[in-house]
Amino acid sequence: MKVKIKEVADLVGGTLTGDENVFLENISKIEEALPGDLTFLYLPAYEKYFPTTKASAILVKTGFPKVRGDIAYIEVPSPNTALLKVINHFFKPDFNLQGVDQTAFIDPSASIGENVSIGKNVVISSGCKIGDNAKIYHNCVLLDNVEIGNDCLIFPNVSIREKCRIGNRVIIHSGTVIGSDGFGYNPDKDGVYQKVPQIGIVIIEDDVELGANVCIDRASIGTTLIKHGTKIDNLVQVAHNVVIGENTAISAQSGISGSTKVGKNCIFAGQVGVAGHLEITDRVIIAAQSGVSKSLTKSATYFGSPAKEHRHALKLEAHIRNLPEQSVKIKELENQLKELQEKFNKLSERGNF
């Protein structure tokens, strides 16, 4: 679509400098933008691309030096926030799935809400309930008694197993599995692992988004729970009986072991590993590739394996990096001490002490 730049400036409450008759057709990164594109600049690291960008217009912070006359400026306090508003208003993706495809299987006992769209080869089993305006894309499978709320968006090849419940406005990306069996086994007297039946469910509350290839295991007994507003990146494993609090963000390749409880407003960076049966309080940040081996009861930033408070962990890391030099210094001091001891012994033998 084409959008007049004046409409963009009015939407974000920005100050427009330049040609008001410019039309914008796309949004691009500053280093990749072409004529007709809107771009943005909010990090100093990207200012190096400004002299050569081909964008027709740019969102910048208030007071940005307007040294180029061939580009239109929209000055706002926060360019990245303004960009999000522009995308949602003018350029939001249109997920064009309408109606129910003839290849879909819907059990007669399933309840389907109004304006639901269902793609090719979708399987909706007995007792399922689908809310209004849901979109379920190709090759998804919903086993018995699954419940899905209103305005959900479920992309291709998602599997949701029996009795799991999905709230309103939930987005689930391709390849995700909800309600797979938890990793529960007991070895018998011969050391042979016997499977423990996993009879619980998964509940995902409103406004949660799950990335591609996320695995959320059903509880062994009770519920695995993802609370309101949580965002989970690709390739994350959530084990049985885990509880994740409201508005927590978990980055790719992280894993949370069974029965751990994570508080609200936490942030897990990439490849964070959390042991089982722990408690992580609210507003905890865990840096990338950290390993959490004990409960974290203080709202703080943690780093390392095992995870420690960030500042302490950085001090330890600095000491470790200095070990080779320190080792050489210690060896020199040992040699000096040995020489002094030998001199002292000789003087003692002569009776000088």
The set of catalytic residues is 240
Count the neighbouring beta carbons within 10 Å of the beta carbon of residue 187. 9
Joined tokens for residue 248 = 């927590």
User: Edge-to-edge strands of the sheet including 273-274?
Assistant: 105-106, 123-124, 141-142, 159-160, 177-180, 215-217, 237-238, 255-256, 273-274, 291-292
Helix (H) or strand (E) run with residue 287 in it: none
- Asked if 190 contacts 212 with a C-beta cutoff of 8 angstroms, the reply is no
Cis before 306? omega within 30? yes
Name the DSSP letter for residue 79. H
186/92 Cα distance (integer angstroms)? 49
Joined tokens for residue 123 = 């399987």
Nearest CA to 66 among 8, 12, 18? 18
Name the DSSP letter for residue 218. P
10/74 Cα distance (integer angstroms)? 10
Joined tokens for residue 149 = 């709320």
107/344 Cα distance (integer angstroms)? 95
- Asked if 271 contacts 253 with a C-beta cutoff of 8 angstroms, the reply is yes
Name beta bridge partners: 302: 286, 309
Q: How far is CA 184 from CA 111, 181, 190, 260, in A?
A: 33, 8, 17, 15
For 120-148, b/e burial (b = at least 16 CB within 10 A) is eebbbbebbbbbebbbbbbbbbbbebbbb
Q: Is 346 helix (H, G, I), strand (E, B) or coil?
A: helix
